[in-house]
Amino acid sequence: MKFHKEGYTSLALVVLFVFIINAVANYYDAPQFLKWFLYALSAFLVITILQFFRSPIRKITKNEGVILCPADGKVVVIEEAEETEYFKDKRIQVSIFMSPINVHINRNPLSGVVSFFKYHPGKFLVAWHPKSSTDNERTTVVVRNRNNVEVLFRQIAGALARRIVWYVKENDAVEQGEEFGFIKFGSRVDLFLPLGTKVNVNIGDKVVGGKTVIAEL
């Protein structure tokens, strides 16, 4: 288990805050119950940051014929939907909700070349809201594999997630299972797969980024 690089700033701010409030409490000789409350609050804040930005070491088994899960979380949508930004036709949409307790690393669901990328500023509706896919802050990534199959996936900010980080751009070569981004504090990832793709998960399933096989091409 490692600590993700995206958490360094958050951890530094929390440690600074903890140091200040405890130093002030001790300097003014606060009542003992208040000191213990601040100690408990300090431990809670530090542990929360450490668990949120944890980066588990995972052995990724690459397979050109499958779509690996891009994120840890729970499957909340499986349906045929119109994709209006890039494909402009019907696709199979699979959406994964990431709660604050999940690992928030986002991984490439397939290997290939990034044929399209766009960042969209937007709102911060709750991640399970039907309009979050089109109205929230988000990124859109399309990867084309060597068989010319394209898969679109989106990072979508939620009510708490106020920062989306991405590590890819158009024409980048990407590897299945490698990190393509990170979303802070609760979010969602949508996949848009070609019609006819065999989906291997069900609504309500808990899935693991880079490990769970979402679908077979």
Residue with the bigger pLDDT between 89 and 121: it is 89
182-211 pLDDT, tens digit each: 987 668 899 999 999 999 999 999 999 999
Q: Is the pLDDT of residue 127 over 60?
A: no
Give the count of alpha carbons within 13 A of 146, CB side only.
Answer: 8
Same-domain pairing of 48 and 91: no
Percent of the chain with pLDDT over 70: 92
Same-domain pairing of 51 and 70: no
133-187 pLDDT, tens digit each: 667 788 999 999 999 999 999 999 876 655 789 999 999 999 999 999 998 766 8
Rg of the chain in Å (alpha carbons): 20
Domain count, the chain: 2
Close Cβ partners of 200 (under 8 Å, ≥ 6 residues apart)? 213, 214, 215, 216
Domain that holds residue 28: 2-55
Quote the pLDDT of residue 137.
86
Torsion sign (Cα): 136, 138, 213, 59: negative
**What amino acid is encoded at 153 in this protein?**
F
Residue 189 CA to its chain's centroid (Å): 6
Catalytic residue, candidates 111, 132, 133, 187: 187
Q: Span 87-105, mean pLDDT?
A: 93
Same-domain pairing of 39 and 137: no
Q: Is 99 marked active-site?
A: no
Same-domain pairing of 110 and 172: yes
d(CA 182, CA 53): 10
Quote the pLDDT of residue 115.
97
